[in-house]
Amino acid sequence: MKKASTHITQNEALIFERSQPGRRGYMLPPLDVDETPADELLPAELRRDDDLEGVPELSEVDVVRHFTRISTWNFHIDLGMYPLGSCTMKYNSRLNERVARMPGFANLHPLAPEADSQGALEVMYELQRHLSEITGLAGVSLQPAAGAHGELTGVMMIRAFLDKRDGGESARHLMLIPDSAHGTNPASAHLSGFTVKTIRSTPEGLTDLEHLRELCAGGDVAGLMLTNPNTCGIFERNITEICKIVHDAGGLVYMDGANMNALVGVARPGDMGVDVIHLNLHKTFSTPHGGGGPGSGPCCCTAELEPFLPTPLVTRSGDRFRLDFDRPSSIGRVKAFYGNFGMHLRALASILTHGREGLREATEAAVLNARMIAHGLSDIYDKPFDAPPMHEVLFTDKRQSRKGVHTLDIAKRLIDYGFHPMTIYFPLIVQGAMLIEPTESVGRHEIEQFVEAMREIARESVEDPELVLNAPHTTRIGRLDEATAARKPVLRWKPAEKTATA
């Protein structure tokens, strides 16, 4: 049976194009208090004078049909494998959604008295404890809203630590980052006032120890930001050595925990010498990506760094849970309130549902699935590094590009085979990168279908390159002209366009 076919789908205009004056999709209870005259309420000059011109007017049915129709244009995890490398698109359980929607959590105001919020505080406290155990690091803050936010937090903590240790403004301004790192790493380091120096990778796709030593020699190294397994899907086997080098040079080691799905229950950053790490709960701990968030990027660190974690922290005294605001060395707040609590609930539910064995089992299954793909494609696609992949496997378009077929084309052609493409052109250290991460949530049969599809595409690239170059052929719209889109950006609907498309 073919994995996919084409079927009829509804097209749908913009919500503004569907709007009709006089339509209503809402009803409020009648105002039940004595009215205050408009002018006493608010002087005219402070009131809107545009009558919200342009904001849509629709019935509830219009809204439901609009968003239901456009939703059908999305690929999503519940349809199947979503192998975006580095994104860990695993199954998002409905059970976690149900937990997050319990009225006792959803209706709790963040500024409600501590005594009346004990359940929520316990949730955060327990999640902190589990994340601490999983990473092998003592301190945890749940405040960061996503991975990059966690990076910013962690790097700022390094900065604060060094300033304190070295007294005043530490002279250490260099943050070392491998060329394979995710873009958020240098961006976060920069935001924290560091100068980014790039470390080369070896031909095996590992951090170049020699180069690291060189860079550390200068004495102005604040730290290293490392992803492990790195973005090539390879475990940095010299990790303890790497940490030692940085520590000996007086710096600290930050680990980007985006790839923790390869390690949970198997190895702990804290045991390797890592000082601070962020986790992506929306990756490793299965909180839904929601088409681009919300995420949650808790920051975990050594006891030494704990004083610098953001304020407040959730602490426990006896059977009471408290918010600790008295943290003089803290870098301060990185977000209002306590982070994305709704994601904390889901992540805790996920950890408790997996349990001790389940967490490790998931790691094993994720790595095994990646191995199957490596095993099935290595003879056809260029695998730039020999090392066996962990939870994700990196290929390039080297062989196919000889015929003019590039990574982008292979990705688009995968769509015709019923798959969401892998992550493409990342990491940047290889040309035409294809980073494939199946996660543990994919069954053997679909892994085999994926391997087969990739092999078919390789064959097509030789026998019928045009077919691949013009893919996808099965979607309601074809490849979009992104260049023009960026040259003449249209970033919002305007009534003008309405008449245009109506």
Partner 1 sequence: MRYIPNSPEERQEMLSEVGLSQAVDLFDSIPADARLARPLDVPDALSEIELLARFESLAARNHAAGRPSFLGAGAYSHYSPTIVDALIQRSEFFTAYTPYQPEVSQGTLQAIFEFQTLVCQLTGMDVANASMYDGSTALAEAVLMAERVTRRRRVIVSAAVHPEYLEVARTYVAHAGVELLSAAFDEATGRTNLEDIEGLDETVAAVVVQSPNFFGCVEDVRAAAERAHAVGALLVVAVTESASLGMLRSPGACGADIVIAEGQSFGVPVSCGGPYVGLFATSEKYARQLPGRLVGVAHDKQGRRGFVLTLATREQHIRREKATSNICTNEGLIALAATIYMTTMGRRGLQEVAEQCAQKAHYAARQIAAVEGYELPYSAPFFNEFVVRAPVAADELLPRLADAHNITGGLALSRYFPGRPNDILVCVTEVNRRSEIDALVAGLRKVQSSKFKVQS
Q: What is the contact surface with a copy of itself in residues (CB under 8 A)? A: 1-11, 13, 18, 20, 59-62, 64-65, 68-69, 72-73, 78-80, 91, 93-94, 415-416, 418, 441, 443-445, 472, 474-477, 501
* Interface residue with partner 1, options 3, 6, 10, 105 (CB under 8 A): 105
Among partner 1, ligand PLP, a copy of itself, none, partner that 3 touches (CB below 5 to 8 angstroms by kind): a copy of itself
Pairwise CA distance, residues 126 & 121, whole Å: 9
Q: Cβ(189)–Cβ(181) under 8 Å?
A: no
What's the CA dihedral at 194, 226, 215, 429 to 10 degrees?
-100
Among a copy of itself, partner 1, ligand PLP, none, partner that 231 touches (CB below 5 to 8 angstroms by kind): ligand PLP
Contact partners, residue 83, CB within 8 Å, separation at least 6 = 89, 419, 420, 421, 422, 436, 437, 438, 439, 442, 450
**Residue of 288, 257, 293 lying closest to 275 (CA atoms):** 257
Q: Is 278 in the site for partner 1 (CB under 8 A)?
A: no
Question: Taking CB under 8 A as the criterion, which residues in 118-177 touch partner 1?
Answer: 118-120, 122-123, 130, 133-134, 136, 145-149, 151-152, 156, 159
* Per-residue contact string for residues 190-229; x = within reach of ligand PLP by CB under 6 A: -------------------------------------x--
Q: Name the β-bridge partners of 227.
A: 256
- Is the previous residue joined to 472 through a cis bond, with omega within 30 degrees of 0? yes
Here the tokens at position 226 are 């490392």
Q: Cβ(410)–Cβ(434) under 8 Å?
A: yes
| DSSP designation for 300 | E
* Interface residue with partner 1, options 200, 322, 327, 360 (CB under 8 A): 360
Q: Is 146 in the site for ligand PLP (CB under 6 A)?
A: yes
Q: Is 82 in the site for partner 1 (CB under 8 A)?
A: yes
Least distance between a copy of itself and beta carbon 443 (Å):
6
**86 or 117: CB nearest ligand PLP:** 86
Pairwise CA distance, residues 409 & 121, whole Å: 49
* Residue 195 exposure: Cα atoms within 13 Å on the Cβ side: 8
Least distance between a copy of itself and beta carbon 477 (Å):
8
Q: Is 346 in the site for ligand PLP (CB under 6 A)?
A: no
Size of the site for ligand PLP (CB under 6 A): 14
User: Residue 458, Cβ neighbours under 10 Å: how many?
Assistant: 21
* Interface residue with partner 1, options 6, 10, 25, 244 (CB under 8 A): 25
The torsion angles phi and psi of 220, rounded to 5 degrees, stand at -110, 20
**Residue of 427, 426, 430, 449 lying closest to 438 (CA atoms):** 449
Q: Cβ(298)–Cβ(131) under 8 Å?
A: yes
Least distance between partner 1 and beta carbon 407 (Å):
12
**256 or 409: CB nearest ligand PLP:** 256
Here the tokens at position 161 are 């630590």
* Interface residue with partner 1, options 254, 385, 417, 426 (CB under 8 A): 426
* Residue 433 exposure: Cα atoms within 13 Å on the Cβ side: 23
Size of the site for partner 1 (CB under 8 A): 215
CB-based burial, 71-95: b 16+ in 10 Å, e otherwise? eeeeeebeebbbbbbbbbbbbbeee
Among ligand PLP, a copy of itself, partner 1, none, partner that 412 touches (CB below 5 to 8 angstroms by kind): partner 1
Instruction: Identify the residue whose tokens are 């974690």.
Output: 309
Residue range at the interface with partner 1 (CB under 8 A); choices 214-222, 248-256, 284-292, 399-407? 284-292
**189 or 249: CB nearest ligand PLP:** 189
Least distance between ligand PLP and beta carbon 150 (Å):
8
Q: Which helix (H) or strand (E) holds 377?
A: helix 341-377
**Residue of 264, 267, 273, 308 lying closest to 140 (CA atoms):** 308
Among ligand PLP, partner 1, a copy of itself, none, partner that 197 touches (CB below 5 to 8 angstroms by kind): none
**69 or 403: CB nearest partner 1:** 69
Q: Is 303 in the site for partner 1 (CB under 8 A)?
A: no
Residues lying near ligand PLP in the complex (CB under 6 A): 86-87, 146-148, 182, 184, 227, 231, 256, 258, 280, 295, 297
